[in-house]
A = this chain, B = another copy of it.
Amino acid sequence: MMPGPGGGAGPLVMLQALLGPEVVAAVRSDEVERYLVDHRRLYHGRALAIARPRSTEQVSKLLAFCNAQRIGVVPQGGNTSYCGGATPDASGTQLLLSLERMDRIRQLDADDCAMVAEAGCVLAKLQDAAREADRLLPLSLGSEGSCQLGGNLSTNAGGTNVLRYGMARDLVLGLEVVLADGRVLDTLSTLRKDNTGYDVKSLFLGAEGTLGVITAAALRLFPREASLATAFVAVPDIDAAVALLARLRASSGDRLSSFELIPRAALDLLSAHLPDARDPLAAPSPWYVLCEAASARADEDLTAMLAQALEEALAAGQVTDAAVARGARDRESLWSLRERIPEAQRREGLSLKHDVSLPVSHVARFVAEAEAWLRQAAPEGRLVAYGHLGDGNLHFNVSARSATEAEALAARTDAIRRHVHDLVRAHGGSFSAEHGIGALKVDELVRYAPPVELELMRAIKRTFDPQGIMNPGKVLRR
List residues of A whose CB falls within 8 A of some B CB.
Answer: 109-114, 155-156, 158, 162, 166-167, 169-170, 179, 183-187, 189-200, 202-203, 205-207, 211, 222-224, 226, 242, 246, 249-255, 295-297, 300, 357-361, 388, 391-393, 428-437, 445, 448-450, 452-457, 459-461, 463-464, 475-476
Are B191 and A361 in contact, CB atoms less than 8 angstroms apart? no
Give chain B residues whose Cβ lies under 8 Å from the Cβ of A254: 222-223, 295-296
Considering the chains assembled together, what is the distance between the CA atoms of A185 and B459 in angstroms? 14
Are B195 and A114 in contact, CB atoms less than 8 angstroms apart? no
Are A211 and B198 in contact, CB atoms less than 8 angstroms apart? yes
Considering the chains assembled together, what is the distance between the CA atoms of A431 and B197 in angstroms? 11
Among residues of B, the one whose C-beta sits closest to the C-beta of A255 is: B253
Give chain B residues whose Cβ lies under 8 Å from the Cβ of A456: 179, 185, 198, 200, 464
Considering the chains assembled together, what is the distance between the CA atoms of A433 and B463 in angstroms? 28
Give chain B residues whose Cβ lies under 8 Å from the Cβ of A433: 191, 193-195
What are some 7 contacts across the A-B interface (CB < 8 A)? A183-B452, A192-B357, A196-B432, A196-B448, A198-B203, A226-B250, A460-B460
Considering the chains assembled together, what is the distance between the CA atoms of A211 and B192 in angstroms? 24
Closest Cβ of chain B to A323, distance in Å, is: 23
A sample of 8 more A-B contacts (CB under 8 A), given A193-B430, A253-B300, A460-B463, is A111-B361, A113-B360, A167-B193, A169-B199, A194-B432, A200-B456, A223-B254, A249-B296
Considering the chains assembled together, what is the distance between the CA atoms of A375 and B103 in angstroms? 45
Are B109 and A193 in contact, CB atoms less than 8 angstroms apart? no
Cβ 8 A contact of A453, one of B155, B197, B388: B197
Are B392 and A193 in contact, CB atoms less than 8 angstroms apart? yes
Considering the chains assembled together, what is the distance between the CA atoms of A449 and B174 in angstroms? 13
Give chain B residues whose Cβ lies under 8 Å from the Cβ of A249: 223, 296
Are A195 and B185 in contact, CB atoms less than 8 angstroms apart? no
Give chain B residues whose Cβ lies under 8 Å from the Cβ of A156: 195, 199
Among residues of B, the one whose C-beta sits closest to the C-beta of A173 is: B359
Are B109 and A191 in contact, CB atoms less than 8 angstroms apart? no
Among residues of B, the one whose C-beta sits closest to the C-beta of A177 is: B452
Closest Cβ of chain B to A372, distance in Å, is: 22
Give chain B residues whose Cβ lies under 8 Å from the Cβ of A463: 459-460, 463
Are A253 and B297 in contact, CB atoms less than 8 angstroms apart? yes
Are A457 and B357 in contact, CB atoms less than 8 angstroms apart? no
Among residues of B, the one whose C-beta sits closest to the C-beta of A430 is: B194
Give chain B residues whose Cβ lies under 8 Å from the Cβ of A197: 206-207, 437, 445, 449, 453-454, 457, 475-476
Are A193 and B158 in contact, CB atoms less than 8 angstroms apart? yes
Closest Cβ of chain B to A318, distance in Å, is: 13
Considering the chains assembled together, what is the distance between the CA atoms of A429 and B202 in angstroms? 19
Among residues of B, the one whose C-beta sits closest to the C-beta of A429 is: B191
Considering the chains assembled together, what is the distance between the CA atoms of A179 and B448 in angstroms? 20
10 closest residue pairs by CB, A with B = A202-B202, A253-B295, A111-B361, A253-B297, A193-B433, A194-B430, A192-B391, A193-B357, A112-B359, A199-B202
Cβ 8 A contact of A202, one of B109, B195, B203: B203
Considering the chains assembled together, what is the distance between the CA atoms of A213 and B460 in angstroms? 18
Considering the chains assembled together, what is the distance between the CA atoms of A134 and B415 in angstroms? 42
Are B198 and A207 in contact, CB atoms less than 8 angstroms apart? yes
Q: A195-B432, A433-B195 are in contact. Are A170 and B170 (CB under 8 A)?
A: yes
Are B361 and A391 in contact, CB atoms less than 8 angstroms apart? no
Among residues of B, the one whose C-beta sits closest to the C-beta of A170 is: B170
Considering the chains assembled together, what is the distance between the CA atoms of A297 and B169 in angstroms? 29
Considering the chains assembled together, what is the distance between the CA atoms of A190 and B296 in angstroms? 29
Considering the chains assembled together, what is the distance between the CA atoms of A455 and B430 in angstroms? 33
Are A393 and B192 in contact, CB atoms less than 8 angstroms apart? yes
Residue among A197, A250, A252, A476 having the largest count of chain B Cβ atoms under 10 Å: A197
Residue among A183, A194, A203, A358 having the largest count of chain B Cβ atoms under 10 Å: A194
Are A392 and B187 in contact, CB atoms less than 8 angstroms apart? no
Are A196 and B437 in contact, CB atoms less than 8 angstroms apart? yes
Are B457 and A198 in contact, CB atoms less than 8 angstroms apart? yes
Cβ 8 A contact of A392, one of B155, B192, B454: B192
Closest Cβ of chain B to A276, distance in Å, is: 32
Among residues of B, the one whose C-beta sits closest to the C-beta of A156 is: B195
Cβ 8 A contact of A196, one of B113, B195, B226, B449: B449
Are A452 and B359 in contact, CB atoms less than 8 angstroms apart? no
Closest Cβ of chain B to A272, distance in Å, is: 30
Are B199 and A206 in contact, CB atoms less than 8 angstroms apart? yes
Are A184 and B452 in contact, CB atoms less than 8 angstroms apart? yes
Are A359 and B437 in contact, CB atoms less than 8 angstroms apart? no
Cβ 8 A contact of A111, one of B205, B300, B360, B457: B360
